[in-house]
């Protein structure tokens, strides 16, 4: 056991880690009374249709009720071959497992809807990727692992499609009832997806592989592969070096979310109406709800990051100009927003802020307009700063931090994983002695690349 998430375990009603649980969480023994399951799905991968994919290295090992009555699924990732492994080994390597384990919990602490991780188990079992590595198994936890791709797989089998949709609605959208339930359900899925994209954008988070089979029907962040939190802000930042065309660049994520929604709606057309024309009209209406939901949620989040209580005319332009400053100055996204809390309506600009934006053309003009906008609301600086620091994290899982933990772990030292878990569980808090973890990466580590070879 490399790491056991004691906080999540308590939420699930577990007493703690022990040898028997280790056997289950490593994939060496089944959950008592449960037959493991791997599911089939399809998907659009980098825009190209693949008619059959599936849980190639993921295995559903249990469905349990939490003490509060909510049902969750436990899924192992990397436990071995399944019927959908497509000739591969069904394994995951230690480096990618560490990244998923840390980031899913970091995102949870950042208030982003996400799957979570209960445990990280390592093994000396050799796994060949670009080089020989060692294996690891993560236990993921979610109310459901159903993806857009599940509906794409069954899109030409109306009976199976309806059965799957009815199950998802009954289990996870129980407030939706009646003859129009499929329309209402799809509308809510679209809205959840739009809001998730807005949340990712507001944190500078890049998913890296936004294929339809990696999109959760519950609007959760799913499948942490070559993800990344931006350091220096760049609208066209691509975190996945396998994404040669930049399809899933940071600035493209909202549009890709919409495109993926269109694929889900296309798959679900048989549920909406017996009439093709009526089904297409209903799907178009649902599709049209994405853009206004995303825009409203994104603007709400951006203005909160600027410390604004209400959204007013001109705020979108103020946000856009600040992002332009970050990009033109190649400034750190997370630090840039965090440091804004130090700006008062009339105080002398703190040295840390002045140094951050030194030489950035247009900053002084923007600062004048920003302070003017703050003065309209009339809030006390300290009150506003406290609110800003609850939405602008000080600590995120930067690539070089994850890489440091990986290199230590590969040498047999797992201490940095525990350090990062503690740090990232309170990302908005000042943590004395941990300030170096909030710094941008040193020059030698600024160009770490991640890809799909895990």
pLDDT digits (tens, 9 = 90+) for 39-81: 999 999 999 999 999 999 999 999 999 999 999 999 999 999 9
Residue 449 pLDDT > 90: no
Instruction: State the CB neighbour count (10 A cutoff) for residue 162.
Output: 15
pLDDT in tens, 215-271: 999 999 999 999 999 999 999 999 999 999 999 999 999 999 999 999 999 999 999
> Is 253 part of any domain?
yes
pLDDT of res. 448: 78
- 3-state DSSP call for residue 140? strand
* Rounded mean pLDDT, 424-429: 98
Residues 185 and 133 in one domain: no
CA-to-CA distance for 88 and 110, rounded, in angstroms?
34
Domain final position from 142, 157, 183: 142
Taking the CA atoms of 250, 256, 257 and 260 in sequence, report the sign of the dihedral they define.
Answer: negative
Residues 79 and 161 in one domain: no
User: Is residue 213 annotated as a catalytic residue, yes or no?
Assistant: yes
pLDDT of res. 219: 98
> Is 303 part of any domain?
no
Assign 3-state DSSP to the chain and report helix, strand, coil percentages, each to 5: 45, 15, 40
Catalytic, out of 55, 68, 166, 213: 213
Residues 8 and 112 in one domain: yes
pLDDT in tens, 298-320: 999 999 999 999 999 999 999 99
Residues 114 and 93 in one domain: yes
Residues 138 and 152 in one domain: no
pLDDT of res. 454: 59
CA-to-CA distance for 193 and 262, rounded, in angstroms?
12
Residues 108 and 206 in one domain: no
Residues 273 and 167 in one domain: yes
Residues 290 and 152 in one domain: yes
CA-to-CA distance for 250 and 263, rounded, in angstroms?
21
Residues 97 and 179 in one domain: no
Which residues constitute the domain of residue 24? 3-142
CA-to-CA distance for 258 and 243, rounded, in angstroms?
19
* Rounded mean pLDDT, 148-153: 98
pLDDT in tens, 72-109: 999 999 999 999 999 999 999 999 999 999 999 999 99
Residues 75 and 157 in one domain: no
pLDDT in tens, 162-211: 999 999 999 999 999 999 999 999 999 999 999 999 999 999 999 999 99
């Amino acid at each position: 056991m490399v790491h056991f998430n004691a906080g999540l375990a308590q939420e699930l009603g577990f007493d703690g880690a022990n040898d028997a649980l280790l056997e289950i969480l490593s994939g060496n023994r089944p959950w008592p009374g449960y037959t493991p399951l791997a599911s089939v799905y399809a998907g659009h991968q980098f825009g190209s249709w693949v008619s059959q994919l599936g849980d190639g290295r993921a295995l559903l090992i249990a469905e349990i009720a939490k003490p509060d009555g909510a049902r969750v699924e436990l899924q192992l990732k990397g436990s071995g071959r399944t019927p959908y492994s497509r000739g591969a080994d069904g394994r995951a390597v230690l480096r990618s497992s560490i990244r998923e384990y840390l980031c899913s919990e970091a995102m949870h602490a950042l208030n982003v809807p996400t799957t979570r991780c209960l445990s990280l188990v390592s093994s000396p079992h050799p796994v060949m990727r670009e080089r020989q590595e060692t294996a690891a198994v993560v236990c993921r936890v979610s109310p459901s692992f159903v993806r857009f791709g599940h509906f794409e797989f069954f899109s030409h089998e109306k009976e199976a499609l309806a059965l799957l949709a009815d199950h998802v609605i009954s289990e996870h959208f129980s407030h939706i009832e009646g003859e129009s339930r499929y329309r209402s359900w799809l509308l809510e899925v679209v809205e959840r997806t739009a809001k998730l994209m807005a949340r990712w954008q507001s944190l500078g988070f890049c998913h890296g592989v936004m294929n339809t089979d990696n999109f959760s029907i519950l609007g959760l962040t799913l499948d942490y592969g070559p993800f990344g939190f931006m350091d220096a802000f760049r609208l066209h930042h691509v975190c996945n070096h396998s994404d040669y065309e930049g399809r899933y660049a940071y600035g493209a994520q909202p549009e890709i979310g919409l495109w993926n929604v269109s694929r889900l709606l296309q798959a679900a057309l048989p549920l909406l109406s017996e009439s093709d024309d009526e089904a297409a009209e209903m799907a178009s209406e649902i599709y049209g709800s994405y853009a206004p939901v995303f825009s409203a949620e994104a603007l709400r989040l951006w203005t909160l990051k600027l410390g604004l209580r209400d959204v007013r005319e001109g705020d979108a332009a103020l946000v856009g100009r600040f992002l332009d400053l970050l990009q033109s100055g190649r400034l750190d996204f997370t630090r840039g927003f965090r440091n804004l809390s130090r700006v008062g309506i009339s105080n002398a600009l703190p040295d840390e802020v002045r140094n951050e934006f030194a030489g950035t053309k247009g900053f002084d003009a923007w600062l004048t307009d920003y302070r003017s906008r703050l003065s309209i609301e009339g809030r006390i600086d300290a009150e506003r700063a406290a609110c800003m620091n609850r939405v602008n994290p000080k600590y995120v899982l930067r690539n070089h931090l994850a890489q440091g933990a990986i290199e230590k772990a590969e040498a047999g030292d797992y201490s940095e994983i525990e350090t990062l878990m503690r740090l990232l569980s309170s990302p908005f808090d000042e943590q004395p002695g941990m300030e170096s973890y909030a710094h941008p990466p040193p020059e030698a580590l600024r160009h770490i690349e991640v890809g799909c070879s895990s």
